[in-house]
Amino acid sequence: MARLTLEKLGKRYGRVQALSDIDLAIETGEFVVFVGPSGCGKSTLLRCIAGLEEISEGELAFDGERVNELTPAERGVAMVFQSYALYPHMTVYENMAFGLRLAKAGKGAVEERVREAARMLQLEPLLDRLPRQLSGGQRQRVAIGRAIVRDPRVFLFDEPLSNLDAALRVQTRIEIAGLHERMAETTMIYVTHDQVEAMTLADRIVVLRDGRVEQVGAPMELYHHPANTFVARFIGSPSMNLLAAEPTDAGVQVKGFAPTPLTAPPGARGLSLGVRPENLRLAEDGETPFYEGDASLVEKLGESQLVYFDMGAEAEPLVARLPGALPAKKGDRMRLATDPEALRLFDDAGQAVRAG
């Protein structure tokens, strides 16, 4: 139940600048996901918001009030940790009640809140157990329960699904999405390195790299209009194909490919043309192919298949996601087509060029 504003927020460890110039506004009830490769600063940023790390520069405000100097409890945050971090010597009930008791909630109120959270998360039969008697998924639910009972202004998740197996991860992901729906007023911030979690859970995604924000936006906005090659490659799986391209009279063209209708700004050099594997398809008869080549590798995924085309020793192979029913095998000659709207152009600094 808080609107967060980060202004020029920075974090230094000695001489290492872990975060710099983070400007961000997070609305009340919004579900924001911080995503990026390991070491990008996403967890550090989360801990700065939580109050577990001191903020070196800039300001963090909840509902317009500066909270830089406040403790986590004073900020009213709750957090779910990757390792669950349950108190090993306390029962499930005591784990959930600990924070409430510290906040001097009355005995009746503690009981009521814990029971309610336990009901919500189907933890009622487990209330008297110790954490070591629970499975990984149950522990994670207790960790979430411990956060819920405190009715936090901001709900923080630090890679909460990383320690779960694949099936449980999907299930818990759906539960967290449901939680967000039920607690519509609570602002949630979620850190992950998994772009699928980011895409499926987020209202908005914040992509971080080397302690800086690369792009902020709704999942599909990032998917369709990545601000730069980093975001383009990070969001979506398999990654967007990036092909070295040159401006020609006919339009931007990749060597060995058909010219595209995209036009580059005057004097542009070192361009990259981006096209997602799922935006490549087989050319119809009579259609001019965008690219024609021999498949160097075919990966059958069931509903679809990934077909790789060798782009020479230096370049990464071109990947196309084609329907699974298509009879394709290594060495097949294929003619690929694409739609011009699906093409993205980036300049030599990797920044997106809004092609005219």
Partner 1 sequence: MSDLSGYTPERTDWGRFALRWGLFVILGLFALWYLAPLFVMLTTSVKTLEEIRTGSLIALPREITFEPWAKAWSQACSGITCEGLRPYFFNSILLAVPSVAISTVIGALNGYVIAQWRFRGADTIFALLLFGCFIPFQVVLLPMAKMLGLLGLAGTIPGLMLVHVVYGIGFTTLFFRNFYVTIPADLLKAAKVDGAGFLRIFVSIFLPLSVPIVVVSIIWQFTQIWNDFLFGVSFSSAGSQPVTVALNNIVNSTTGVKEYNVDMAAAIIAALPTLLVYVVAGKYFIRGLTAGSVKG
The site for partner 1 (CB under 8 A) is made up of: 47, 50-52, 71-73, 77-79, 81-89, 98-99, 102-103, 146, 150
Which C-beta is closer to partner 1: that of 130 or that of 168? 130
Structure tokens at 192: 């992950």
Nearest distance, CB of residue 285 and partner 1, angstroms: 57
Which C-beta is closer to partner 1: that of 13 or that of 59? 13
Q: Are strands 154-158 and 77-80 parallel, antiparallel or unpaired?
A: parallel
Nearest distance, CB of residue 90 and partner 1, angstroms: 8
Which C-beta is closer to partner 1: that of 56 or that of 98? 98
Q: Give the closest residue to 37 by CA, choosing from 193, 184, 217.
A: 193
Nearest distance, CB of residue 203 and partner 1, angstroms: 23
Beta bridge partners of 188: 31, 155
Q: Give the closest residue to 43 by CA, choosing from 173, 193, 154, 188.
A: 193
Whether the bond into 238 is cis, omega within 30 of 0: yes
Which C-beta is closer to partner 1: that of 146 or that of 281? 146
Q: How far apart are CA 288 and CA 297, in angstroms?
A: 24
Which C-beta is closer to partner 1: that of 72 or that of 217? 72
Burial degree of 38 (CB within 10 A; 0-12, 13-18, 19+): exposed
Which C-beta is closer to partner 1: that of 87 or that of 255? 87
Nearest distance, CB of residue 98 and partner 1, angstroms: 5
Among all chains, which residue has been given the structure tokens 């901001």? 154
Nearest distance, CB of residue 209 and partner 1, angstroms: 25
Nearest distance, CB of residue 153 and partner 1, angstroms: 12
Q: Are strands 31-35 and 204-209 parallel, antiparallel or unpaired?
A: parallel
Evaluate whether 190 touches 201 at the Cβ level (below 8 Å): yes
Structure tokens at 40: 């990008």
